[in-house]
Amino acid sequence: MAPLRSFWKPEAGYSNDMSTSRLTLADRRRRGVLDALVLVLPAIPFALVFGLTVRESGVAIWLGWSSSPIMFSGAAQITLITLIGEGASLAAAATAALVVGARHLFYSFSMAPAMQHQPGWFRWCAPYMLIDQVFALCVGKRDLPPADFRHYYLAAGLTFWSFWMTFTALGLFVGPVIPVGLDISFATPVLFMGLLVTAIDSWQKAVVAVFAMFITLVLLDLPSRSGLLLAVILGIALGLLLERVRQK
Amino acid sequence: MILLTIFLMGLGSYAMRAIFILALSGKTFPPLALRALEYVAPAVMAALVMTMLVSPGGDPVPALREVAGLGTAAVVALLTRNHIYVLITAMGVYWGLPYLI
């Protein structure tokens, strides 16, 4: 089992023994909100850009914004609305957006074992919120007791959801008010890098991560970010292969 | 028609996120799947970080300040495992580097 770590700091008094957790469910919710807020800040420019994308596309603004609650998938929404605005056929725009969103299949797979211990209603609700940031935060919490995991997940997910609904709407009217020179968006890859490093607990995983980065760069020009999908699949295959090597 | 497309896309987005969670809820995972699962998070997060830095058709190599910022993030995360330190140092390098060079 991977050691348990919180987003901020190692959990006080928390060993690998689940029963020693001193955090209450309310603590979990608070942490979920706080952790999500740290990732919300750098995502603000992205949300505002989506509003601008809708305006420039010529799609009715209420219609463009409706994709926020209906899809709740930033990159796929931008792809869809941009392509519609450029006059692509709806089928072509939808296909591209689906390919962009296909990485969520990996999140679903990765979360499936932890979800087995959850009540049915949560298994149906949780996927709606399973965006990049929620996955990045919660994948390291998979080994928590089910109730702790659920409260953390819901708190982080709902925080991000509220933000996305509000700021994509705001973006329709104010445009990108955050000065581009400030460049806070870079904090998202930085935090993801931090979460990535703390999730690595074997040399095989480290090799897989570096390899996946490299393949993503090599396959950058494949359409609709499909290079990312291939990089992940090849990365997983490499990881399994490396385990074999060690066993021999 | 656009509303219908968005609605179908919503179904598609949900389906992609839900499929394994719902389909495998009562199943026992074969050992190979469980081992493969271990590598999903490192691979997908590493790939995500890269796609955030470079855009298709653009320069396939991230800028120096981005590489330096991410390198700092990785090292600080490894040493401290504290994401606030990661954020402060990496953003410091990212914002400060252009003034130094």
pLDDT digits (tens, 9 = 90+) for A21-78: 578 999 999 999 999 998 998 888 888 888 888 988 989 999 999 999 999 998 899 9
Q: How far is A98 from chain B (nearest CA, A)?
A: 7
pLDDT of A8 above 60? no
The two tokens of residue A207 are: 């090799």
Q: How many CB pairs under 8 A join A and B?
A: 257
**Within-domain flag for A10:** no
**Mean of the per-residue pLDDT values for chain A?**
86
Contacts of A166 (CB under 8 A, 6+ apart): none
- Residue where a domain terminates, one of A123, A146, A180: A180
Pair (A111, A210) in one structural domain:
no
Pair (A99, A146) in one structural domain:
yes
Contacts of A164 (CB under 8 A, 6+ apart): A43, A47, A68, A72, A74
Placement of tokens 């209420």 in the chain:
A62
| Contact: B90, A72; criterion CB under 8 Å | no
pLDDT of A14 above 60? no
Between A191 and A2, residue with greater pLDDT: A191
pLDDT digits (tens, 9 = 90+) for B21-63: 999 998 898 999 999 999 999 999 999 999 888 876 667 777 8
Placement of tokens 């020179």 in the chain:
A181
Task: Give which of A193, A224, A234 to mutate to test B binding, by max B Cβ within 10 Å.
Answer: A193
| Contact: A192, B6; criterion CB under 8 Å | no
Residue A64 and residue A172 in contact, taking contact as beta carbons nearer than 8 Å: yes
- CA-closest candidate to residue A152, choices A244, A23, A17, A2: A23
ipTM of the complex: 0.90
Facing residue for B77 by CB, picked from A66, A198, A206: A198
Pair (A104, A172) in one structural domain:
yes
- Residue where a domain terminates, one of A180, A214, A234: A180
Largest CA distance in chain B: 57
Domain with A29 in it: 24-180
Q: How far is A92 from chain B (nearest CA, A)?
A: 11
Q: Burial letters for A139-155: b for 16+ Cβ neighbours within 10 Å, e otherwise?
A: bbbbebeeebbbbbbbb
Q: Measure Cα distances from A176 to A22, A39, A44, A68, B56 in Å.
A: 43, 18, 9, 17, 22
- CA-closest candidate to residue A134, choices A9, A225, A40: A40
What is the Cα–Cα distance from B49 to A161, expressed in whole angstroms?
Answer: 21
| Contact: B91, A220; criterion CB under 8 Å | no
- Among chain B residues, the shortest Cα distance to A73 is held by B13
What 3-state DSSP class applies to A186?
helix
Residue A120 and residue B18 in contact, taking contact as beta carbons nearer than 8 Å: no
Q: Burial letters for A15-46: b for 16+ Cβ neighbours within 10 Å, e otherwise?
A: eeeeeebebeeebbbebbbebbebbbebbbbb
Contacts of A31 (CB under 8 A, 6+ apart): A6, A7, A8, A23, A152, A155
Say what the pTM is.
Answer: 0.86
- Alpha-helical (H) ranges within chain A are 25-57, 61-71, 74-85, 90-101, 104-115, 120-125, 132-138, 146-174, 187-199, 203-218, 226-247
| Contact: A213, B41; criterion CB under 8 Å | no
Pair (A174, A213) in one structural domain:
no
Pair (A124, A224) in one structural domain:
no
Average pLDDT over residues A88-110: 93
Angle subtended by helix axes A146-174 and A25-57, to nearest 10: 30
| Contact: A213, B47; criterion CB under 8 Å | yes
- Residue where a domain terminates, one of A133, A152, A180: A180
pLDDT digits (tens, 9 = 90+) for A208-240: 999 999 999 999 888 878 889 999 999 999 999
**Within-domain flag for A208:** yes
- CA-closest candidate to residue B18, choices A118, A209, A233, A239: A118
pLDDT of A5 above 70? no
Pair (A142, A96) in one structural domain:
yes
Number of domains in chain A: 2
Q: Would an 8 Å CB–CB cutoff place A56 in contact with chain B?
A: no
Pair (A43, A141) in one structural domain:
yes
Sign of CA dihedral A43, A152, A199, B75: positive
pLDDT digits (tens, 9 = 90+) for A144-175: 999 999 999 999 999 999 999 999 999 888 86
Report pLDDT for A224: 78
Q: How far is A169 from chain B (nearest CA, A)?
A: 16
Pair (A86, A129) in one structural domain:
yes
Pair (A67, A132) in one structural domain:
yes
Confidence of residue A9 (pLDDT cuts 50, 70, 90): very low
Q: Would an 8 Å CB–CB cutoff place A232 in contact with chain B?
A: yes
- Contacts of residue B18 in chain A, CB cutoff 8 Å? 108, 124, 127
**Within-domain flag for A15:** no
